[in-house]
Amino acid sequence: MLAFIGRRLLVAIPTILLISVFVFLLQQLLPGDPILAMAGEERDPATIEFLREKYGLNDPLPVQYFKWIGGVIQGDLGISLRTNQPVSELLLQKLPVTIQLAVMALIFAVVIGVPAGILSAVKKGTVVDYAANVVALSGLSIPNFWLGIMLILLVSVKWGLLPASGYTPPGEDLVRSITTMLMPAFVLGTALAATLMRHTRSAMLGVLKSDYVRTARAKGLYERRVILRHAFRNALVPIVTLTALLFGELVAGAVLTEQIFTIPGFGKLVVDAVFNRDYAVVQGIVLCTAVGFIVMNLLADAAYFALNPRLRKS
């Protein structure tokens, strides 16, 4: 198992490097020049030249890249062109917020999507199945921002049950932190829950037809045990894969959700950075997300080992 994870990690290194090159070049293609913005109204050529030199923008591209990646490896992601704060500091500030949102959203997605998927597979072709599918389809088709706004209107404005926006760190006030994040996490989680439900359903349908499920029944086991132990355990492999892949969707969704609920997280950071052409921050965020994606896939691979004994041998 360790060898397998080690091999995966080795493969991850060139992947991350490739992404870093891509990220670095991508920002060269972005229109606009932050130096011009910094230099002010007069656009004094001497000032511009000074600033270019200061930020190393006069070096050839490969030199700029190696300078940058060298720093990245040491944890230095550069300085925000706008706020003059180190990018790593900004990321460390915002990352926990988004991780909290993502984890809570994922919990919503799993808690809703997986049982609904199992239920609709077991009750295939019945009212329960159709109802679950209708709910899932609406979950997929209702846009995040609309659902978010509606929830704010209803739950916060009309009923006054939950705060409409903002963020409280869990260290400060855990209950408040969770209640504040409840609505955004739900909004972000529903779309994922729908995807998860449909995949759980099809995975379960496949597994329920298998010979070993029939064997489990022939042993006389209760149907609940047959479904939850014998069938679900085997359906978990595709479900875990999908959950790891949903990470991308989660980050993309977080950007929007954080805007709606004005949560000072990663999503807000990236939007602000892009609008302000804050290259260093954009690079840091994209790189960070890419690493997050790779870590999620690694975790999924590790989960296969626990789930599928056939893999353990090789």
Write out the residues near other proteins by the rule CB under 8 A.
210-212, 214-222, 230, 233-234, 307-310, 313
Q: End-to-end alpha-carbon separation of the chain, Å?
A: 9
User: Are 113 and 192 contacting, i.e. CB atoms less than 8 angstroms apart?
Assistant: yes
**With respect to other proteins, which residue has the nearer C-beta, 83 or 210?**
210
Q: How far is the CB of 125 from other proteins (least distance, A)?
A: 8
Nearest Cα to Cα of residue 243 among 300, 202, 307: 300
> What is the Cα Rg of the chain in Å?
24
Q: How far is the CB of 234 from other proteins (least distance, A)?
A: 6
The position carrying tokens 């939950």 is: 162
Which 8-state DSSP code applies to residue 86? Answer: B
User: Are 6 and 265 contacting, i.e. CB atoms less than 8 angstroms apart?
Assistant: no
**With respect to other proteins, which residue has the nearer C-beta, 158 or 310?**
310
Q: How far is the CB of 4 from other proteins (least distance, A)?
A: 17
Q: How far is the CB of 202 from other proteins (least distance, A)?
A: 19
Instruction: Give the integer Cα–Cα distance in Å for 165 and 275.
Output: 22
Instruction: Give the integer Cα–Cα distance in Å for 188 and 169.
Output: 19
**With respect to other proteins, which residue has the nearer C-beta, 298 or 311?**
311
**With respect to other proteins, which residue has the nearer C-beta, 232 or 261?**
232
Q: How far is the CB of 313 from other proteins (least distance, A)?
A: 8
Instruction: Give the integer Cα–Cα distance in Å for 279 and 200.
Output: 40
User: Are 87 and 77 contacting, i.e. CB atoms less than 8 angstroms apart?
Assistant: yes
**With respect to other proteins, which residue has the nearer C-beta, 158 or 313?**
313
